[in-house]
């Protein structure tokens, strides 16, 4: 590592780059149902029927917040 004057992160980056460039990833053929779902999703996006990632995260946070205990009514 020190002889080549490279940091550990540079070596790891190079190793990962080499690993992924020499590896073959199999291609999956989508099923007819998956193709239909993809087309429906693309059509929804074209219509503007979607939310941003930030909106999704905000909604998830709201759902996780603990609710206040309600006062008991006698």
* Spatial contact of 50 and 44, defined as CB atoms under 8 Å apart: yes
**What confidence score (pLDDT) does residue 8 get?**
93
DSSP state of 50: -
Say whether 68 sits in a helix, a strand or coil.
coil
Residue 65, both tokens: 């917040």
pLDDT by residue for the chain (74 residues), tens digit each? 457 788 999 999 999 999 989 888 888 999 999 999 999 999 999 999 999 999 999 999 988 877 777 777 76
Q: What is the pTM of this model?
A: 0.47
Cα separation of the two ends of the chain? 74
**What confidence score (pLDDT) does residue 2 get?**
53
């Amino acid at each position: 590592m020190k002889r080549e004057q490279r940091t550990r992160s540079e070596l790891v980056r190079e190793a990962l780059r080499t690993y992924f460039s020499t590896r073959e990833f199999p291609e999956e053929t989508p099923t007819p149902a998956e193709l239909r779902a993809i087309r429906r999703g693309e059509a929804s996006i074209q219509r503007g029927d979607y939310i941003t990632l930030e909106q999704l995260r905000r909604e998830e946070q709201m759902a996780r917040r603990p609710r206040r205990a309600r006062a008991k009514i006698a």
